[in-house]
Structure formats: structure tokens, C-alpha cells
Amino acid sequence: MPVYEVEQKYPVADVAALEARLAGVAAGWHGVVEQADRYFGHPSRDFAATDEALRLRRTDDGVWITWKGPRLDASAKTRREIELPLAEAAVPASPPATLDRWTDLLEALGFRRVREVAKRRRLATVAWDGVLIEVAIDHVAGLGDFVEFELQADAAGIALAATRVESLARHLGCTCPEPRSYLEMLLTQA
């Protein structure tokens, strides 16, 4: 069954104020992670035109590969996503070395390195309208602070998930969604 990621992102001018509002809805904090994402272009598709993305993500815990399909929906960012864990490809285990071996493989297949996106992500969960919504406060190198809300859904549940995400965002005072990915924002800046 395809899994869709319904997510919405907002710029944050005042992180402390947002944290206070999250406390007001009893957000449960569960960790901080540094994520370094290496994005790739496709050998024959223009991912900017097809609205897809392929990345290798490195954290302290390991390395993942992620494909994001085209957004299905203009308001909330709903897209099909396939994310798979990569085994350590170096001895001794080293996420940077594994990332480099995978970059070699993707480049051999004609994918091209586009850009890296580095962020510090703080994760929380909020119980809202009967479901648990994932909340991430991101500090993105070169871009600043954002908050992202996310729910996973199957095809039949996308509309309801988007309604729930928007309702929580409004309640927290987030009113001006940012439709672009961090990668797109960085490429636009350049």
C-alpha cells in the first residue's frame, strides 16, 4: 500500500513563542537530531519539473535513501515517499564513508549531486483531533527557523490528514505556509 506523507511547513519568526504555544497543547518532546541531506538530480528527468526528489540522509544513527514523488495537492504537501535504511558500507562503521560509497553508486548510474541541506531538527508529538501529529522545529543552515507538521496517510486518508494538520497549525498561530522544500529555497537563493 503506498504511503503518503501529508506535511506543511511554516517559517518561524519567534521560536520561543512557538515553544510556549506547543506547551499549551501538551506537546511531548522526543529528541534532537542533526540531519545532513545530499540531494541528487536524475540522469534523464528534470526533478524540478517533475517535482520529485532523491536524497541520501545522514544522521548520527545511520544513513537512509529517500525518494519523494510529486506533490499531489497544492495546499498541504502530500506526496508518495519511499525511504529505506542503508547498511553500513564501511569497516569500521562510518556514516560519512557509507554516504560516500552510495554517492559513488548513484554517480555511476548517472545521478548528479545537486546540493546539501543541513539542519538541526527538534522533534515533538502532539495529540490532536484523535491522532498524533509529528512536529519538527528545524534550524536550517542558510535559511533559519521553520516548523513542520506531518501525518502519514493512505490514499483514502489524505484529505482528512491535511485538514488535521492545518487545524493544528492555525491553533499554534502558523498562518503563512511555505510550499517550497528547503532544497528549492536554497537553490532559489543561490
Tell me which residues touch its own copies (CB under 8 A): 42-45, 54, 62, 65, 67, 69, 80, 82, 84-89, 101-102, 104-105, 108-110
Residue 87 or 176 with smaller CB distance to its own copies: 87
In angstroms, the CA 155 to CA 2 distance is 7
Residue whose CB is less far from its own copies, 42 or 122: 42
CB of 95 to its own copies, least distance (A): 12
How many whole angstroms separate alpha carbon 40 and alpha carbon 43?
9
Q: Which residue has the cell 502530500?
A: 78
What is the DSSP secondary structure assignment for residue 27, as one 8-state letter? Answer: P
What value, to the nearest 5°, has the Cα angle with vertex 140 and ends 137 and 142?
150
Contact indicator for 38, 56 with CB cutoff of 8 Å: yes
Task: State the nearest-atom distance from the C-beta of 23 to its own copies, in Å.
Answer: 33
CB of 57 to its own copies, least distance (A): 13
Q: How far apart are the first and last CA of the chain?
A: 38
Closest by CA to 105, choosing from 69, 65, 59, is 65
When the beta carbons of 57 and 164 are compared against its own copies, the nearer one is 57
Nearer to its own copies, 105 or 132 (CB): 105
> How far apart are CB 84 and its own copies at their closest, in Å?
5
Please give the C-alpha separations between residue 42 and each of 65, 71, 85, 120, in angstroms, as whole numbers: 14, 17, 20, 27
CB of 67 to its own copies, least distance (A): 5
| Smaller CB separation from its own copies, 11 or 62 | 62
